């Protein structure tokens, strides 16, 4: 299975829920399913949980790096810029569960007193789930939610488990909601620049255009990419193009030259060189290794 992330018009991730009637998504994945062993930086309104089963990965949330080891996990709050990856292309098996927080807003009081205080608490963009008893309880709840996928009455059971998980996090969150908090303007600017690059990646865009999309100067643009994504704007754009090309290699019959131009490269030779450098194999070898008649090129949510 090959995994690619789809996005909405505001460049947030488009989540394909398990059921159209209930906003939850769960799956068990391997990091090797992602091109280059890395998900692209993205965000969404949904709450995200990752639980590591085997191997390990590095997880980036708003530029803060966390090493996730077996039997550890992470909670990522709504609309945080995040992605997981392996810098050494090593395998990692993990559970990913996404849940839209609106499902907890059963009454105006619930939304005001229990949902929004956690969603809007800037002191808890994420939680690294480790050995603490309440961390272990959260991860056990995530495993249970995943095990219920497709079961009879799953929505009711998952709603109950997620409400309990939310209550545990709520009880342990920093008690700073309602106080004057730092405005994450830089993150807003970075999202705008990433959105511009994702919309125009087929074109020959410049650093000046990228910076203008965020309303900042070129030096500020480069600083934000280094701080939050640990890469330059040019490296981000190149990797994004390569990821999109990997999707085309698996899902279409376009030849390598056609794909190179389709994703914004000036020629097939340069594209093939970059692809081999980042993916560890040629575009043709990647296509051959990833072609899966049972469902190649599947889009998914999270991570």
Residues 137 and 102 in one domain: yes
Which residue among 112, 143, 172 closes a domain? 172
Cβ neighbours of residue 140 closer than 8 Å, sequence gap 6 or more: none
Which residue among 115, 143, 172 closes a domain? 172
Structural domain span for residue 94: 3-172
Distance in angstroms (rounded) separating the CA atoms of residues 237 and 197: 7
**Within-domain flag for 177:** no
Residues 148 and 201 in one domain: no
pLDDT of residue 19: 76
Number of domains in the chain: 2
Alpha-helical regions (H) of 104-184: 108-110, 116-119, 133-147, 154-172
Check which CATH number belongs to the domain holding 52 and give it. Answer: 2.60.120.280
pLDDT of residue 282: 95
pLDDT of residue 2: 59
pLDDT of residue 16: 79
**Within-domain flag for 91:** yes
Nearest to 94 by CA among 104, 103, 84, 107: 84
**Within-domain flag for 17:** yes
Q: What is the dihedral of CA 12, 74, 172, 158, to 10 degrees?
A: 80
**Within-domain flag for 180:** no
Residues 159 and 228 in one domain: no
**pLDDT of 112-127, one tens digit each?**
999 999 998 888 999 9
Distance in angstroms (rounded) separating the CA atoms of residues 258 and 111: 50
pTM for this structure?
A: 0.82
User: Strand 64-68's sheet: what is its strand order?
Assistant: 64-68, 57-61, 82-85
**Within-domain flag for 179:** no
Residues 150 and 219 in one domain: no
Residues 252 and 207 in one domain: yes
Residues 265 and 223 in one domain: yes
Check which CATH number belongs to the domain holding 233 and give it. Answer: 1.10.10.60
Residues 19 and 132 in one domain: yes
Residues 168 and 135 in one domain: yes
pLDDT of residue 9: 56
Q: Which residue has the tokens 């939610």?
A: 145
pLDDT of residue 249: 94
Residues 54 and 92 in one domain: yes
Residues 116 and 208 in one domain: no
**Within-domain flag for 298:** no
**Within-domain flag for 140:** yes
In the chain, which stretches have pLDDT less than 50?
Answer: 177-183, 293-296
**Sign of the CA dihedral with 233 first, then 239, 242, and 247 last:** negative
Residues 143 and 28 in one domain: yes
Residues 227 and 146 in one domain: no
């Amino acid at each position: 299975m090959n995994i690619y992330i789809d996005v909405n018009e505001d460049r947030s991730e488009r989540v394909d829920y398990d059921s159209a009637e209930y906003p939850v998504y769960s799956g068990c994945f391997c990091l090797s399913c992602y091109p280059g062993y890395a998900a692209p930086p993205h965000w969404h309104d949904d709450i995200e949980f990752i639980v590591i089963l085997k191997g390990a990965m590095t997880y980036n949330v708003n530029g803060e790096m966390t090493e996730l080891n077996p039997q550890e996990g992470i909670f990522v709050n709504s609309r945080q810029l995040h992605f997981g990856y392996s810098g050494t292309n090593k395998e990692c098996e993990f559970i990913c569960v996404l849940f839209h927080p609106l499902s907890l807003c059963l009454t105006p009081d619930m939304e005001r007193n229990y949902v929004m205080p956690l969603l809007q608490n800037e002191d808890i963009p994420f939680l690294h789930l480790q050995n603490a008893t309440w961390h272990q309880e959260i991860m056990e709840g995530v495993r249970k939610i995943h095990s219920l996928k497709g079961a009879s009455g799953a929505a009711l059971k998952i709603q109950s488990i997620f409400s309990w998980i939310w209550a545990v996090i709520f009880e342990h969150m920093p008690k700073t909601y309602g106080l004057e908090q730092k405005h994450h303007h830089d993150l807003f600017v970075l999202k705008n620049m990433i959105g511009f690059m994702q919309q125009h990646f087929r074109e020959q865009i410049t650093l000046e255009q990228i910076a203008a999309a965020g309303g900042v100067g070129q030096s500020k643009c480069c600083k934000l990419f280094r701080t939050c994504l640990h890469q330059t704007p040019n490296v981000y754009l190149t990797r994004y193009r390569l990821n999109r090309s990997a999707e085309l290699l698996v899902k279409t019959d376009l030849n390598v030259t056609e794909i190179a131009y389709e994703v914004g490269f000036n020629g097939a030779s340069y594209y093939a060189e970059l692809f081999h450098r980042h993916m560890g194999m040629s575009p043709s070898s990647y296509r051959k290794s990833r072609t899966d008649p049972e469902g190649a090129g599947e889009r998914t949510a999270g991570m």
